[in-house]
Amino acid sequence: MVINFRNAKVMKKDEVPRFSLILVLFFGILAISSGSILVRLAQGENMPSLVIAAWRLTIASAVLLPLALRYRRSELQRMSPAAWGLAILSGAMLALHFASWISSLAFTSVAGSTVLVTTSPLWVGLAAPFLLKEPLSKALKVGIPLAMLGSMLIGVADVVAVVDGRLQFSLTQFTNQPNPLLGNGLALAGAVAASAYLLIGRRLRFGMSLLSYTAVVYSTAAFFLVIMALASGCDLLGYSRAAYLVLLLMALFPQLIGHSSYNWALGFLPAASVSIIVIAEPVGATFLAFLVFQETPNGLTLAGSVLLLVGIVWASLPARKTAVASS
């Protein structure tokens, strides 16, 4: 599928970013790591997961859409039907991602949920060569398995333990979470949806500015999430002031700063490279969960975090060198 924009500003692979890729993605990771903590706080105010997801994207869209209509109106008007179709599909995938992942946090641990939802590099890495014609580099072939191994170690930390000198496995015995199996399944579904969102974004971001892309995709996701929330019988209003304050923080930090930094990076880096950087989120989220909820990481979580970071550095630095060298 070819996307044509007659006079729109097109981002080229050799265009030099004004900001350091590493710096932008670092702050993006910090911002997005706060998402699971803020979700838990909103759920603690008796706000349903679908309502949280709907408001998060609605508030972000309320910020971006007016700006896009003012400063990128001509670009939006020149979008082809194929581009609109992909943008709407991307928004639908983003809606499914948030609906699944935010719901998972009501049933499983922060570490387990964020680890599983960030397995998207596995799906992106497998699909990118076929859908985007982006072959995996040698660095990515090494970095993805290392990072995925680290993620899996963090993920099993809640369901395995050494009892009387023997390693035992249980979905419920070693955790205080309501339903880890359901929560982990929802988080995994969120990862698959996020992979589709990243792959579509990689295709669109070479022909769309960041403002236009995020405004259209976030608004589309907000529309689908509002429909899902209303269809499930949830009320969008009537919650505490604290709940709405948490929603504002959620829209500002993990959404506008966190996700938008990744979408910006898609204009310069392959989808697989961006997606592997995303899996740094469990490290930040686990640390914040320790500070806020006293969810103490065990040895497996710490070991997995080290492997995960090694995989990220291994896979992302060559891509960054390539981007800088092209300048």
Neighbours of 22 (CB within 10 A): 11
pLDDT of residue 8: 34
Lowest mean pLDDT among 78-92, 139-153, 262-276, 309-323: 309-323
Question: For residue 277, which of 144, 156, 102 has the smallest C-alpha distance?
Answer: 144
Report the pLDDT averaged over residues 299-315: 78
The structure tokens listed for 83 are: 């581009």
pLDDT of residue 90: 94
Give CA–CA dist 256/35, Å, rounded.
11
Q: What are phi and psi of 160, to 5 degrees?
A: -130, 150
Confidence check: pLDDT of 194 > 60: yes
The listed range with the strongest mean pLDDT (74-83, 158-167, 260-269) is 74-83
pLDDT of residue 224: 97
Place of tokens 């589309």: 220
Give the pLDDT confidence of 84-132 residue by residue, as tens digits.
999 999 999 999 999 999 999 999 888 888 888 877 766 776 776 777 6
C-alpha pair distances (Å), 160 with each of 35, 140, 176, 267, 301: 26, 29, 13, 40, 11
Higher pLDDT, 160 or 218: 218
Q: What are phi and psi of 268, to 5 degrees?
A: -125, -25
**How many CA atoms does the CB half-sphere of 114 hold within 13 Å?**
29
Q: Which parts of the chain fold into alpha helices (H)? A: 21-33, 35-44, 49-71, 73-77, 81-104, 110-117, 120-131, 138-156, 180-204, 210-231, 241-250, 260-265, 271-278, 281-293, 299-325
pLDDT of residue 318: 52
Q: Are 46 and 234 in contact (CB under 8 A)?
A: no
Amino acid letter, residue 77: Q
Confidence check: pLDDT of 54 > 60: yes
Higher pLDDT, 122 or 254: 254
Higher pLDDT, 225 or 3: 225
Q: Are 295 and 289 in contact (CB under 8 A)?
A: yes
pLDDT bin (cut points 50, 70, 90) of residue 317 is low
pLDDT of residue 186: 94
pLDDT of residue 193: 94
**How many CA atoms does the CB half-sphere of 22 hold within 13 Å?**
10
Q: Are 73 and 9 in contact (CB under 8 A)?
A: no
Place of tokens 């099993």: 156
pLDDT of residue 97: 95
CA 51-53-56 angle, to 5 degrees, is 105
pLDDT bin (cut points 50, 70, 90) of residue 11 is very low
Percentage of the chain modeled with pLDDT above 70? 83
Confidence check: pLDDT of 12 > 60: no
> To the nearest whole number, what is the mean pLDDT of the chain?
81
